[in-house]
């Protein structure tokens, strides 16, 4: 009863705040210097992963392990949609920018909860049939006085950050061919970098950069090699034409190497017999020169993928101490169930650590190559059962990394699946799979903590549903925040994994938590709203109690009680 009364009071406060006049807030120009030094700016959240290295770590420590139990809602309000909310909000000088699915972009006064402006994303009426996973988006990009959104119908749109007025838009590709955009754009050196989604539709993936001021194309790099390009011979039967390998999660950037790091997804179709060879460029990490888009190196995690083990997950750029030496590292929690460490300067394999149940085989510790158990590989009209499932040991939900403790926190999925391959023909704008299957039991989840220095699991906090898409947040206060499909927003002790605090939001959390400071006070925020791929694709993997979760999107901002 107490919880219900609190929630009711919070909603009333949110409505009251929305009715009040706007607080005097001013947009501060998001310069190159501010972006490059985002790690030294604890007050704002200017980049999708907070910093270019995508570690989702905040130096703020006003909220800490000793007082987190005093965390209470400051305000909340409905975002006005039933679509799934995969967004991580951004904050600049007290103004929060929230991408509300693929329907709106909101600017919110963080002091009051008052909405300053709203931009409506006008999508074609038939867009849903060309998107695999609902009207989802992950967030926005910020640069100077502009906000950038990647629209589902494959457009990049620039807005005036002060008014929400549209300044320019650029068509990326034809959405009726299955090309969509679901990521938060990454802005570096005056370029807006995006990658297309649509790997299940037989697209040919690519990564593209636009001039942030004018919208003019700067460069475009295909993820799948074509005729005359290195690696095309790994795509038998001319399968490169519809090869997939979408790059649909936000890039990381290292100013020291001048490289953009971006993972790529599954090859198309899922039926591997239709694309003999390793299918280079798919299931890979790519390192591209930010100025030209030229590929510097690539590393393929899963050749000739049979399991939908996308490698689209974020590149977390960290300096790793191993064997008395410091490696300029890149961490990726891969869908195949391993946490990989690569050398980000050259793409060389360093290590792999299984963090969930893995029975498809193992990674060779010397070479980084997959050594596959043949019984776990689906084939033409041959069923195979394997762990982790095609949702992966980690899906797109982001790792948080605490550089002071060298601990990585991985939202994990314990779920197994069965698949077989069957013949399929490519048809423009239709699903191109050729691999029916399902989960063999309802899934569970865990937040898995890995000591990156020792490359060992430190602890696991288990949950009754998969931590499928709510990203982790680590803070200097010794905390790790994560959301669950049940709708619980949870704070854990980063050293032990002990749950210290939780709050029940009205719907499942699939968005990314973040934190910021205004007027010397720290706040923690998350968007609640169940949806996305899990209810659409998980089948028997959806736990019975999750089927009862209500939809409905709302923004929640928390503060320490006085």
Q: Would residue 395 show up in a list of annotated catalytic residues for this protein?
A: no
The token pair that represents 550 in the structure block: 């209500």
Write down the catalytic residue from 278, 305, 308, 395. 308
Contact 312, 138 (CB under 8 A): no
Contact 18, 219 (CB under 8 A): no
Residue whose entry in the numeric block shows the structure tokens 């423009």 = 428
Contact 144, 31 (CB under 8 A): yes
Element (H, E) at 12: helix 2-19
Instruction: Report which of 277, 204, 275 is spatially closest to residue 245, judged by C-alpha positions.
Output: 204
Count CB atoms within 10 A of the CB of residue 216: 10
Question: Which letter, b or e, does each residue of 54-87 get, where b requires 16 or more Cβ atoms within 10 Å of its Cβ?
Answer: bbbbbbbebbbbeebeebebbbbbebebebbbbb
Q: What is the four-CA torsion angle of 434, 439, 444, 448, rounded to 10 degrees?
A: -40
The token pair that represents 347 in the structure block: 């793409």
Q: Classify residue 26 by burial, with Cβ atoms within 10 Å: 0-12, 13-18, 19+.
A: exposed
d(CA 254, CA 95): 27
Tell me the torsion sign for CA atoms 410, 415, 419, 425: negative
The token pair that represents 25 in the structure block: 């807030």
- How many helices and strands (H and E) does the chain possess? 3, 38
User: In the chain, helix, strand, coil percent, each to 5?
Assistant: 10, 40, 50
Return the SS3 of 18. Answer: helix
Tell me the torsion sign for CA atoms 76, 73, 530, 124: positive
Q: Give, in order, the Cα–Cα distances in Å from 261 to each of 288, 330, 380.
A: 7, 9, 34
The separation between the first and the last C-alpha atoms of the chain, rounded to the nearest angstrom, is 23
Instruction: Report which of 239, 145, 140 is spatially closest to residue 194, judged by C-alpha positions.
Output: 140
What region, left, alpha or beta, does residue 16 occupy, with left being phi > 0 and alpha being psi -120 to 50 degrees? alpha
d(CA 430, CA 131): 10
Catalytically active residues are: 308
């Amino acid at each position: 009863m107490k919880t219900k009364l609190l929630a009711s009071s919070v909603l009333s406060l949110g409505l009251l705040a929305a009715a009040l006049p706007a607080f005097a807030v001013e947009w501060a120009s998001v310069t190159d210097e501010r972006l490059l030094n985002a790690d030294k700016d604890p007050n704002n959240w200017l980049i999708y992963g907070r910093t270019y290295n995508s570690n989702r770590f905040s130096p703020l420590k006003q909220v800490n392990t000793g007082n987190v139990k005093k965390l209470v809602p400051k305000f909340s309000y409905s975002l006005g949609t039933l679509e799934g909310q995969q967004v991580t909000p951004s904050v600049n000088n007290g103004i929060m920018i929230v991408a509300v699915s693929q329907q709106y972009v909101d600017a919110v006064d963080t002091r009051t909860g008052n909405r300053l402006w709203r931009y409506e994303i006008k999508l074609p009426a038939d867009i849903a049939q060309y998107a695999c996973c609902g009207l989802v988006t992950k967030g926005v990009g910020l640069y100077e006085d502009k906000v950038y959104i990647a629209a589902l119908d494959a457009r990049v749109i620039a807005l005036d950050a002060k008014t929400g007025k549209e300044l320019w838009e650029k068509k990326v590709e034809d959405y009726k061919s299955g090309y969509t955009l679901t990521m938060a754009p990454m802005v570096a050196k005056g370029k807006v970098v995006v990658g297309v989604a649509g790997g299940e539709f037989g697209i040919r993936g690519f990564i593209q950069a636009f001039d942030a001021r004018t919208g003019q194309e700067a460069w475009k790099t295909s993820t799948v090699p074509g005729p005359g390009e290195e690696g095309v011979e790994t795509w038998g039967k001319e399968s490169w034409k519809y090869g997939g390998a979408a790059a649909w999660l936000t890039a990381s950037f290292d100013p020291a190497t001048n490289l953009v790091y971006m993972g790529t997804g599954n090859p198309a179709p899922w039926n591997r017999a239709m694309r003999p060879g390793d299918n280079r460029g798919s299931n890979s990490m790519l390192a591209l020169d930010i100025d030209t888009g030229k590929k510097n190196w690539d590393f393929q995690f899963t050749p000739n993928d049979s399991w939908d083990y996308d490698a689209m997950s974020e590149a977390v750029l960290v300096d790793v101490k191993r064997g008395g030496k410091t490696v300029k590292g890149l961490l990726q929690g891969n869908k195949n169930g391993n946490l990989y460490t690569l050398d980000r300067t050259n793409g060389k394999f360093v290590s792999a650590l299984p963090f969930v149940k893995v029975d498809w085989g193992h990674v060779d510790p010397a070479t980084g190559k997959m050594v596959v158990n043949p019984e776990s590989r689906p084939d033409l009209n041959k069923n195979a059962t394997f762990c982790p499932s095609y949702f992966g040991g980690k899906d797109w939900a982001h790792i948080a990394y605490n550089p002071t403790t060298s601990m990585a926190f991985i939202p994990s999925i314990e779920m197994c699946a069965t698949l077989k391959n069957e013949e399929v023909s490519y048809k423009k704008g239709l699903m191109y799979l050729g691999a029916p299957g399902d989960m063999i039991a309802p899934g569970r989840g865990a937040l898995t903590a890995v000591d990156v220095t020792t490359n060992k699991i430190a602890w696991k906090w288990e949950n009754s549903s998969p931590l499928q898409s709510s990203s982790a947040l680590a803070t200097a206060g010794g905390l790790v925040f994560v959301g669950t499909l049940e709708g619980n927003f949870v704070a854990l002790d980063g050293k032990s994994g002990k749950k210290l605090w939780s709050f029940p939001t009205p719907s499942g959390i699939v968005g990314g938590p973040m934190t910021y400071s205004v007027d010397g006070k720290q706040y923690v925020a998350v968007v609640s709203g169940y949806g996305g791929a899990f209810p659409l694709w998980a089948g028997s993997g959806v736990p019975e109690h999750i089927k009862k979760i209500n939809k409905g999107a709302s923004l929640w901002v928390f503060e320490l009680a006085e």
